[in-house]
Amino acid sequence: MKTAVYEIVKIGDPLLREKAKKVPKVNANIEKLLDNMADTMRAADGVGLAAPQIGISKCVVVIDVGEGLIELINPEIIAQEGHELDAEGCLSVPDVQGKVMRALKVTVKGLDRRGQDVHITGEGLLARALQHEIDHLHGVLFVDRMVK
């Protein structure tokens, strides 16, 4: 199957500030979107990407912090603990880094590419990436959370 690498939407685009739409049903179009998002994230040397970052208002994220690709549809944080201040950047906010306070450990529920329920618990960088990408689905950018 042929995939596409998308241009990443940059800060200033109003789509990045909108709440993304829930995916009512996982189908072949969503599977293709996941493939395209993974290719786009890798091409940009990112560790995560949310669908709004490629101009698509859907609750879909992909993450790979070096432990393998995670694909989540309609993800929600259901538990969090601890907190940690660390540096973040974003493919949609080029050449900017800043310190952001995030939960140290999170558990997220969502759907996989087959529409099956999944729960993922992440700590450290994975927890940070999950929170960062889920923020994108709510129209929140890391610069909104940066410690001044």
Residues contributing to the annotated binding site for Fe cation: 90, 132, 136
* Contact of 43 with 62, CB cutoff 8 Å: no
Residues at the binding site are: 90, 132, 136
- Phi and psi based region of residue 125 (left: phi greater than 0; alpha: psi -120 to 50; beta: remaining): alpha
- Specify the DSSP element, H or E, that contains 104: none
Query: Is 71 tagged catalytic?
Result: no
Residue tagged active-site, from 18, 71, 76, 133: 133
**Structural contact between residues 103 and 82, judged by C-beta atoms closer than 8 angstroms:** yes
Residues known to be catalytic: 133
